[in-house]
Chain A
C-alpha cells in the first residue's frame, strides 16, 4: 500500500526515558514533516526535511532530534521525556512545490507517566 507509515502507534513510557518514533513514506515525496497534536487537537509543525536537508526547525526543546537517513525516512528521537511531551505525533510527506497537500501518517500517541 502506498502510504505514510509510522511506528509505534502507541508508546507509554516513564519520565526521563529516551524513545524514538519512526516514519517511512513510499509516495516518492521529497519533503517530510513532524507535527505535534496536543490535547486540544491543535497541530503544530516541529521539523521538516526536504531531500534529507532540514528546512523547518521550530522552537522545540533540543531534547527532540529528527534524523533523515534518506528521502523516504524521517525519524524522531526524544531524550529525557517529560510529562508535557505527551501528545499525538504525526509524520507527513509532500512534494514541496505542489498543491496536493500533505499525506499524513496515522499518528503515534505518546504517553509519559
Chain B
C-alpha cells in the first residue's frame, strides 16, 4: 500500500537555526514528490515538485532534495515567518492521486 511518512511531527527552532524535515515514501511508480506549506486556517500552498533521485529545488531559505526512498526539506537560517505546517505528497503514476503525509509543524522562535 502506498504510504508517505513525515518526521518529526513537530519542530521548534530558534531564528537562524538550520534544520531538515524528512519525508519517507513508498509510492508505486512515483510520478512526482510534492512539498506544500500550510498556514493555520488556510489551504496548502505549493512549494516544489521533485521527479527523480538526485534532483534539488530551492526557494529562498528552503531547499528540497529527493532520493529513491525519501525527500528532505532543508531550512537554512529560518525566520519566524517560516513557521507553518509542511506537507509532502507522493503522486502515483497512472492514478493522479496524491498520498499526503501528516505534516511537520514548524515553529521558529524570534
Which A residues form the contact surface with B (CB < 8 A)? 4, 31, 40-45, 48, 50, 55-56, 90, 92, 96, 99-107
Contact = CB atoms under 8 A, between A and B. Distances in A.
B45 A48 contact: no
A102 B45 CA distance: 8
19 contacts: A41-B103, A42-B100, A43-B87, A43-B89, A44-B100, A56-B97, A90-B44, A92-B43, A96-B96, A99-B32, A100-B49, A101-B34, A102-B46, A102-B98, A104-B44, A104-B45, A106-B43, A107-B41, A107-B42
Nearest to B98: A45
B49 A56 contact: no
Contact of A105 (B36, B43, B85): B43
Interface size bracket, B side = 20 to 34
Contacts, number: 52
B49 A101 contact: yes
Contacts of A55: 96
A41 B105 CA distance: 10
A4 B103 CA distance: 22
A41 B99 CA distance: 13
